[in-house]
Amino acid sequence: MNIDLTEAIGFLSISTMTRLVAGFRETLDSYGLIQKQAGILWRCHYEPQSQTRLQEAIMADKNYVRFYIDDLEAKGLVYRQKNAQNRRENIIHLTEEGKKISTETFSLMLEYQNKTLLKHISQDELDVLVATLKKLYFGMRQEADFQKARSTK
């Protein structure tokens, strides 16, 4: 058997993601943010999120998420509000400045992503790639949610 990492989807996707994140880091640095903080802003843009949901969404330890939110709050980009249904849980809301930064950074991220990827593939190929990745993402997320629900019964 020939071991060729370029045949492994995990290797290819992680390597591509790592290069995209590294290239976009400079833009985020100019906002005083790291990728996971930008992810928190983007996740909360249209709908406030619990810290637990954010932890799952950005795949980070709850203590790191708390530190990220503390920093975003200190920068005036988010604020915490107790969940009326569960007083032990905080709901994270964006401030007006947080919404502005969220919109700007997301737009810049898409611009960087497209500029970088379109050097190597066509727009049609990019569209197919995005559609395929969305299908995998939502399918695997649904499967994970189903497994989680089964394990709590």
Q: Are residues 31 and 58 in the same domain?
A: yes
| Helix axes of 96-117 and 123-151: crossing angle, nearest 10 degrees | 120
Over residues 128-132, the mean pLDDT reads: 95
Structural domain count of the chain: 2
Determine the pLDDT at residue 62: 86
Percent with pLDDT over 70 in the chain? 98
User: Residue 128 is part of which domain span?
Assistant: 121-153
Q: Are residues 148 and 85 in the same domain?
A: no
Q: Are residues 130 and 149 in the same domain?
A: yes
pLDDT in tens, 1-21: 889 888 899 999 999 999 999
How much is the mean pLDDT over the chain?
A: 91
Q: Are residues 114 and 144 in the same domain?
A: no
Q: Are residues 144 and 112 in the same domain?
A: no
Determine the pLDDT at residue 29: 94
Over residues 81-92, the mean pLDDT reads: 85
Q: Are residues 114 and 125 in the same domain?
A: no
Whether residue 153 is predicted with pLDDT greater than 70 in this model: the reply is no
Q: How confident is the model at residue 58 (pLDDT cuts 50, 70, 90)?
A: confident
Which three-class secondary structure state does DSSP give residue 120? coil
Whether residue 148 is predicted with pLDDT greater than 80 in this model: the reply is no
CATH code of 113's domain: 1.10.10.10
